[in-house]
Amino acid sequence: MGEETFSKPAPAVDKKPEFQTKPCKSCGKAISFKPSWQHIPNYCPECKAKYRAEHGERKMVRKTCYSCGRTFTFPSTIKHYPNYFWECRAKYKEKKG
């Protein structure tokens, strides 16, 4: 019989997968990320959750300025909670000299 021409296998598609992986800095587990991301995570979601559980999420306290009524936020970790928005505090300081 005649020669049989073997059809070449289709060339491998050289297409980069949308997601790439890198090892978690803590546990080494592969983290999927898109190279286009601005912030590529260093830790897997589990390690991040663990970190948050250990260190606590930084809470922000919301307050209304006694002077101008503007709402402002500040971290709950500070000792003295301000009653005035920083601009008003600055003004107050100026007046006082």
Q: How far is CA 41 from CA 45, 46, 48, 71, in A?
A: 9, 12, 10, 32
68 contacts Zn ion (rule: CB under 5 A): yes
Decide: is 65 part of the binding site for Zn ion (CB under 5 A): yes
Residues 50, 67, 74, 91: which binds Zn ion (CB under 5 A)? 67
Q: Which conformational region is residue 28 in: left (phi greater than 0), alpha (psi within -120 to 50 degrees), or beta?
A: left
Cβ 1 to Zn ion, closest distance in Å? 60
Terminal alpha carbon distance of the chain:
106
- Among positions 19, 21, 22, 27, the unique one binding Zn ion when judged by CB under 5 A: 27
Please report whether residue 20 would count as binding Zn ion according to CB under 5 A. Answer: no
42 binds Zn ion (CB under 5 A): no
Q: In the complex, which residues of this chain contact Zn ion (CB under 5 A)?
A: 24, 26-27, 29, 44, 47, 65, 67-68, 85, 88
